[in-house]
Amino acid sequence: MQTSPSRTIVFITGAFVSSTCWNQWKAFFEEHGYTCLVPAWPFKDAPVLTLRNRQPDSRVASVRLAQLTEYFADLVARLPEKPILIGHSMGGLLTQLLLQRELAAAGVAIHSVAPQGVITFKWSFYRSVWGPLGYFTPVEESFLMSFKQWRYAFVNGMTPAEQRAAYRDFAVPESKHVSRDGLTAAAKVDFAKPHAPLLFLAGSTDHIIPASLNYSNYKRYKHAGSVTAYRELPGRNHFVLGQPGWREDALCVLAWLAQLVEVEPTTKSRTIELVSQSN
């Protein structure tokens, strides 16, 4: 039996990190028979140290969300089959934007940046995003998280050694435009439109994208004939891709993809809430 709606996966990286954050996930899904692509963002296809040594980088700073959406749309459209899109953070939002353009067989949004109009009042969110938004600083200069900002927004709850290693290996400069564009029409999702199956994964300890924000994002989808699913995993911060326990999350995705082809078409017009939101 086929085990997914596609055998091709495109991993879409989020902001502030190198695309190498997907290395373990890529190897895992390749072991399960998938063809996996991990395209870097424009101007970020270089080693972490090289990218950091370029800070501030005007080319990185120039990137906009609409440009990123077109970049990934063009890449995906040239593949021999509609892929499964798995995106983290801003990559999760890009996954949502590409699904509404009918460019994917299925999507997984991991701790997804919320589309325009989906908001939270959690203090941890506002504390985490103030630096990346870069208000009162030159927008022509790229933004690199300080270790203090990284420790709070990405790797809270991990040991100091793990936090330092993650910062050293993955943190890279980012465009302030991209962060700000998440508040504009460039991040607009039509929640009433039919879409390919979409799974949201949330983390109970994520500061920058709280689980409650992920849940609000998930609940906005209204099309009765489309599969939408949600799962909150305990103890996951925003560095979920490299946290101990990442394999459990990858297995969750693998099982969900297998479930899609086992569900009869007549029963797919439903919402699957794998795990309810925790308080």
pLDDT given at position 265: 42
Q: What is the mean pLDDT of residues 147-164?
A: 98
Q: What is the mean pLDDT of residues 54-60?
A: 98
pLDDT given at position 273: 41
pLDDT digits (tens, 9 = 90+) for 24-39: 999 999 999 999 999 9
Among residues 118, 74, 125, 66, which one has the least CA distance to residue 97? 66
Residue 4 — very low, low, confident or very high, per pLDDT cuts 50/70/90? Answer: low
Q: What is the mean pLDDT of residues 151-169?
A: 98
What's the DSSP call for residue 41? P
Beta bridge partners of 87: 12, 109
Helices (H), 147-219: 147-153, 160-170, 176-181, 211-219
Q: What is the mean pLDDT of residues 111-136?
A: 95
pLDDT given at position 10: 98
Integer Cα distance of 237 and 153 in angstroms:
8
pLDDT digits (tens, 9 = 90+) for 37-53: 999 999 999 999 999 99
Among residues 181, 147, 165, which one has the least CA distance to residue 67? 181
Residue 278 — very low, low, confident or very high, per pLDDT cuts 50/70/90? Answer: very low
pTM exceeds 0.85 for this model: yes
Residue ranges of domains in the chain, CATH in brackets: 8-273 (3.40.50.1820)
pLDDT given at position 19: 98
Residue 263 — very low, low, confident or very high, per pLDDT cuts 50/70/90? Answer: low
pLDDT digits (tens, 9 = 90+) for 171-228: 999 999 999 999 999 999 999 999 999 999 999 999 999 999 999 999 999 999 999 9
How is residue 139 written in tokens?
């927008």
